[in-house]
Amino acid sequence: MIRLRISSFILAGILLASCTAQVSVSPVVQPSTTLAPAPAATETILPATAAAAAAPTSIQTPTPQPTPTADPVKVSLGQPVWAGRGQIMDAGFLPDGSGVVVGWGGGISLVDLASGKEKWFVAVPAPLIKLDVQPQGKSVAAGFTDGTLMVVDIENGQSRRYTENTRPNAIWGSVAWSPDGRTVAYQFTGANRGDPINLLDPSSGKVTQVPDSAIDQGFLPRIVWSPDGKTISLPGLGSVCPSLVDVTTGQTRLSLGQTVSCVADRYPSQIGAWTPDGRAVAVSQDSSVQLLSFPDGALLKTFQSSRTIAAHPYSGPALFFDPSGKWLANHSGISYYFESTEPITVWDVKSGLAIARCDHPITGGKVFYRIAAAFQGSSLLMIYNDGSVTRWDFTLEREERFLFRLEIPGAELGSLGWSGDGKRLAYSSSSEGVYVYQSASGELVGLVPGDLNSPGLNSDGTQLAFFDHSKNEVQVVDLASMNTILHLPGEALPGGLSFSPDGASLAYSRGQTAAVADLASQKTQALLPSADSAPLKDQRVTHVVWSPDGQALVVAAGIESDTNNGQTVLWQRDAAGTFQELTWVEDYQASYSMAVVAVFNPSGTRVALRKEPRDEAGYIELIVYDLVQQQVIQDVKDYFPGMWADDNNLLMRQVADYSWTTRLDVTSGQITQGRGTDTMGNTYAPGGVYFVHPDEDAFGIIISDWVSGKILARGQHGDSLGDLSWSPDSAWIASVGVLGTVRIWPVSYK
């Protein structure tokens, strides 16, 4: 199994993806555990070099022309299941303050504030963008990346999905109930799209639109209703000012351009909230709040703040009043896209003075933002993206009080680990803890809380290993009993542990060096490199890769803060069971978690290594080492290893960012070029016949044949992808979104 991490991030208000029509997913088909043979195809054969014997062959690759190929074997994707919930995307407190509705990447839940316990959870069809609690507290409405809407009953969690007039591939959006609770307004935006404000009648399912309300793709929707339900807000950007328009006619009732300045080089003012009596609207601009009368826009009052008043893109409008109109507050509390921590401030509306300010939220996360806040009497209820729920009595307390923290089962990128049989999948959470799921159902098998990372499963998925940061050790847990059966002193770095294929041994990082533990006897063997391959100061083991037969091991080490240092060492177990160093190469990218440092062939007799010397910029070699002959048999410049198709044929990727899929016959030196492309995002199936890569246009995955390059199957994840992983038995694919959402896809071959 080869996994490649794909860097992807979306900055606030800047949309970096592109979209196309919705991608369909094939009906559920039970996956076969046997990979289909390679399809017959006409391939481009490059001139062969002499077969390697005692010395390696350095191959100079000519520029070939790909030729047409025959139709490949049919591959299909079944219906995926969620593994976990992803990160917290949005939240809303119930009007009576008894609970909070939490919108996860993969579901919606209701949590009781008194006990911190979850009352119900509803899985959702696609990653969630926004939700809003009905003012009457009876329902919650939510919008998703596939453009659909769902309304959930607060009492029992029963839901109804609305698909009329939907478009997929939404990125940002806003969902807001009308004050009377009879209409849901929603608006989505994304690359090459800017939707109008849609108005849903949940009772009938009928959808209408606010006339002339379509926005540009760069605008960030933040819908705010007037208390009488007759006026609604449109966002602005740059020189386009936000405005308030008539819900029925779409005519402008008030443009902020009448009062404030909207210029291209600054973020526009935000329409934050209406006064409960509907006579004025609060608008945030820079470090102040202006209260404007409606509809003439006259300035009534200015509320000052010590810092910029804003709202994180995943939170709602920047401002909100208490139900009586006595107090005004801002969301703020951002330390995510911005360097500074913005305080939450409460103003007395009558005097215009700030009466309370909370400068430093108590959340422990370095990267945090306040998702939702609401008045409850003289207190503020707040929830953060790390799951912290707090209460702040701003009339009596200087700081907020911690109530509880929700567990966040969202995957950390680059942390996926399959069991050898592919039936279970583990990952470390982006907050804390390690989770294990059944591949077929997405059912949670085990959860180990704590500051943990680098999870690994044994061959049948009955044992879980991970690093414990707090104890600086490796632990092995029996998943049936959840008892810890082994403690090993270690160094907590992602990627630095792995079970042997038979599950009898565990290779793990001790910091600069690695060790192998026999799980039955609990005896350990340190792998001490030679003087030539000894790690440099501050290097730490970052990758541990077993051969399929468990007789060889590759250990790579690098420096996280210095990507110009790294090396990879090949070890082989002798007849006495002792590991001996065979060879080593410099690889200055060994510290990269996304790097493919080594790939063994199916029998474990050969291994492809990547060589990138520290002081030779741009020099890259692919080294093929034969463990039987104990020598290098091929040396190919300007290629990275990909996956072995069989014992003799290795898939490679050219150093160029965009290159054709290429195969090397390591016995003859012959290179065969397919018509598939590798843009550094391919993840190859065991056996190398097929590869999966991100479908950036549709926030999904694409399976292609490496020879023909033809697309064999598509599936929509609904989130920009940060990680892809094929199970060892080729029966499953796991896709991880940048928001921590995980989907497991069954794959079948005919």
pLDDT at 652 over 60: yes
pLDDT tens-place string over residues 321-346: 999 999 999 886 655 444 456 778 99
pLDDT for position 204? 95
Nearest residue to 486 (alpha-carbon basis) of 516, 522, 453, 510: 522
pLDDT tens-place string over residues 265-307: 666 678 889 999 999 999 987 778 999 999 999 999 999 877 6
pLDDT at 520 over 70: yes
Which of 263-272, 532-541, 566-575 has the weakest average pLDDT?
Answer: 263-272
pLDDT tens-place string over residues 430-478: 667 999 999 999 999 999 999 898 899 999 999 999 999 889 899 999 9
pLDDT for position 548? 96
Architecture category of domain 85-332 in CATH: 7 Propeller (2.130)
Q: How far apart are CA 721 and CA 736, in angstroms?
A: 6
DSSP, residue by residue, 589-612: TTT-TT---EEE-TTSSEEEEEEB
Q: How far apart are CA 280 and CA 295, in angstroms?
A: 8
Length of the chain: 750
- Helices then strands, counting H and E runs in the chain, come out as 0, 64
Q: How far apart are CA 119 and CA 99, in angstroms?
A: 9
- Pairing between strand 631-637 and 57-59? parallel
The residue extents of the domains of the chain are 85-332, 333-407, 415-489
- 378 phi, psi to nearest 5 deg: -95, 20
Could you tell me if 439 and 744 are in contact, meaning their C-beta atoms sit under 8 angstroms apart? yes
Could you tell me if 427 and 439 are in contact, meaning their C-beta atoms sit under 8 angstroms apart? no
pLDDT for position 40? 34
Instruction: Determine the residue type at 627.
Output: L
Judge if 85-332 and 415-489 fold alike in CATH terms.
no
- 600 phi, psi to nearest 5 deg: -90, 150
Nearest residue to 217 (alpha-carbon basis) of 167, 257, 149: 167
pLDDT for position 274? 97
Q: How far apart are CA 643 and CA 725, in angstroms?
A: 13
Tell me, yes or no, if the pTM score tops 0.75: yes
pLDDT at 55 over 70: no
Q: How far apart are CA 12 and CA 336, in angstroms?
A: 10
pLDDT at 44 over 50: no
pLDDT for position 607? 98
Q: How far apart are CA 171 and CA 189, in angstroms?
A: 6
Nearest residue to 412 (alpha-carbon basis) of 461, 371, 463, 451: 451
Q: Could you confirm whether domain 415-489 is CATH 1.25.40.10?
A: no
Instruction: Determine the residue type at 659.
Output: S
CA atoms lying within 13 Å on the CB side of residue 109: 23
pLDDT at 97 over 50: yes
Q: How far apart are CA 110 and CA 113, in angstroms?
A: 9
Could you tell me if 111 and 124 are in contact, meaning their C-beta atoms sit under 8 angstroms apart? no
Instruction: Determine the residue type at 188.
Output: F
> Quick one: the chain helix, strand, coil %, rounded to 5?
0, 45, 55
Q: How far is CA 621 from the centre of its chain?
A: 31
pLDDT at 362 over 70: yes
pLDDT for position 367? 61
pLDDT, mean over the chain = 84
* 3: confidence class by pLDDT, cuts 50, 70, 90: very low
* 310: confidence class by pLDDT, cuts 50, 70, 90: low
Could you tell me if 657 and 680 are in contact, meaning their C-beta atoms sit under 8 angstroms apart? yes
Nearest residue to 555 (alpha-carbon basis) of 544, 547, 546, 539: 544
CA atoms lying within 13 Å on the CB side of residue 48: 9
pLDDT at 29 over 90: no
Which of 256-265, 395-404, 469-478 has the weakest average pLDDT?
Answer: 256-265
pLDDT for position 59? 43
Q: How far apart are CA 311 and CA 472, in angstroms?
A: 38
Could you tell me if 174 and 222 are in contact, meaning their C-beta atoms sit under 8 angstroms apart? yes
Q: Give the other-Cβ count within 10 Å of 352's Cβ.
A: 15
Q: How far apart are CA 466 and CA 487, in angstroms?
A: 10
* 62: confidence class by pLDDT, cuts 50, 70, 90: very low
Could you tell me if 361 and 333 are in contact, meaning their C-beta atoms sit under 8 angstroms apart? yes
- Pairing between strand 463-468 and 452-457? antiparallel
